[in-house]
Amino acid sequence: MSVTLDRKLGFGAMRLPLTDREDPKSIDLAQFRRMVDLFFERGFRYIDTAYPYHDGYSEEAVRQCVVERYPRESFLLADKMPILQVKSPEDYDRFFTEQLRRCGVDYFDVYLLHNLGRDRYPNTERFGGFDFLKRLKETGRARNIGFSFHDDAQTLDHILTEHPEVDVVQLQINYLDWDGAVAQSGRCYEVAKRHGKDVVVMEPVKGGQLATLPEAAMRRFTDFYGLDAPSPASLAIRYVASLEQVKVVLSGMSTPEQVGDNTGYMREFTPLSADERDLAEQIAQELKRAIKVPCTGCRYCMEVCPQSIAIPDYFGLLNLHAVTGKKTNMYYERYSMNHGKASECLKCGLCEKNCPQHIAIRDMLEEFAALYEG
């Protein structure tokens, strides 16, 4: 990126404090101001928002709590184009103009196409999304351009090959997903590195899941660090901040205490030691013991499936749910774009005959369909 950051931590304005827990628009502006003040006071300056965050109110809150209170050159602001809502080439200008107004600025330091993936890429190309980004950069309305991404490494490689003009990619990277079949953190990072792109990390704590560890994993953590153990979140954030190509690590902070904790250990950032990396891998293995399907992703099953069901991809989602307790419908929609849905299984059994792991694939697909399609 053309910007220089002394400290890698960024403030993701997507989980801001609320006055009404049921209303994402009810941002507690007074508390957000205190959090911003502490964040800047400790030498951090990267703020990340997006059009849909907090039902459209995140950008407004950033204007009131950041833009109207600090000199524009004292902070870096990132925003994102809601490409899912773009239905024509003219929509790019319309949304961008609205975002400038909401944020109260006349340029963004980083501007991204939001949540690009195999499903949204064709329309982005059709409507000229990357040409729009290039015009923003040429006219100075965006200092750095790129896209945020939740898909597989092959798709990322394809997009970066076709669009080498982007400066930055925002990727979901954390130590639990590093070798994962769904988010493919490690593989996506290596693709970005090979293309020479700067990386902004999102979900380093996996939506808070790596901030509160299960008992067995927490025991490993405290045994390693002893009585003065830092927060588990520190291990997760420092893990990704230690990666060479990573320029910013975003944390969606919700309380002043979280800001205090994160800025405390990131002010004088120390890369993870080899022993700490081993610890992260051990905790990841502890979390992965809940994995349900011993699928290796060889894809032999798909060679014989008459419905072209993306069996290994669906099993990856089933395993992710077993470990984290969460569903990721977005990935299912993408995986099933050009493949059969789990419920379309004919129960022919050809996949099981071709499976080296002897998995009861038909039963697992039925369980997956009940989870995702029920």
Q: Residue 290 above 90 pLDDT?
A: no
Using the predicted structure, report yes or no on whether residue 87 has a pLDDT greater than 80.
yes
pLDDT at 227: 87
Model confidence band, residue 343 (pLDDT cutoffs 50, 70, 90): very high
In this structure, of 155-169, 273-287, 310-324, the range with the lowest mean pLDDT score is 310-324
Q: What's the mean pLDDT in 243-248?
A: 96
Mean pLDDT of 118-132: 96
Output 244-247 pairs: Cβ under 8 A, ≥24 positions apart: 244/193, 245/189, 245/192, 245/193, 245/197, 245/198, 245/199, 246/8, 246/173, 246/199, 246/200, 246/201, 247/1, 247/5, 247/8, 247/168, 247/198, 247/199, 247/200
CA distance 118 to 151: 7
Q: What is the pLDDT of residues 24-65, one digit of tens each?
A: 999 999 999 999 999 999 999 999 999 999 999 999 999 999
Q: 261-300: buried (b, 16+ CB within 10 Å) or exposed (e) per residue?
A: bbbebbeeeeebeeebbebbeebbebbeeeeebebeeeeb
- What does the pLDDT average to over 276-282? 97
Tell me the average pLDDT across 134-149. 98
Q: What CATH number was assigned to the domain covering residues 9-283?
A: 3.20.20.100
Q: Work out the average pLDDT over 300-321.
A: 93
Q: Is the pLDDT of residue 321 over 80?
A: yes
15, 255 contact by CB (below 8 A): no
Averaged pLDDT of the chain = 94
Mean pLDDT over residues 156-183, rounded? 95
C-alpha triplet 126, 171, 63: angle, nearest 5°: 85
* Cα distances (angstroms) measured from residue 338 to each of 178, 180, 298, 317, 334: 26, 22, 19, 17, 8
**Percentage, residues of the chain above pLDDT 90:** 83
- Please write the tens of the pLDDT for every residue from 188-229: 999 999 999 999 999 999 888 899 888 889 999 999 999 889
Confidence of residue 324 (pLDDT cuts 50, 70, 90): confident
Which tokens is 163 given? 């669009």
Confidence of residue 140 (pLDDT cuts 50, 70, 90): very high
User: Between the CA atoms of 361, 365, 368 and 370, what dihedral angle is there, to the nearest 10 degrees?
Assistant: -140
User: Which of 99, 160, 98, 165 is closest to 138 using CA atoms?
Assistant: 165
Beta-bridge partner residues of 200: 170, 248
Q: Which of 270, 287, 91 is nearest to 180 (CA)?
A: 287
- In this prediction, residue 65 carries a pLDDT of 98
Answer whether residue 294 shows pLDDT above 90: no
Helices 90-103 and 129-138: angle between axes, nearest 10 degrees: 50
Domain boundary assignment for the chain? 9-283, 300-372
302-325 average pLDDT score:
92
Q: Greater confidence, 83 or 183?
A: 83
Q: How many CB atoms lie within 10 A of CB 201?
A: 26
Q: What is the pLDDT of residue 1?
A: 77
Place 114 in a pLDDT band, splitting at 50, 70 and 90.
very high
Stretch 59-79: mean pLDDT: 98
Query: Is it the case that residue 320 has pLDDT exceeding 90?
Result: no
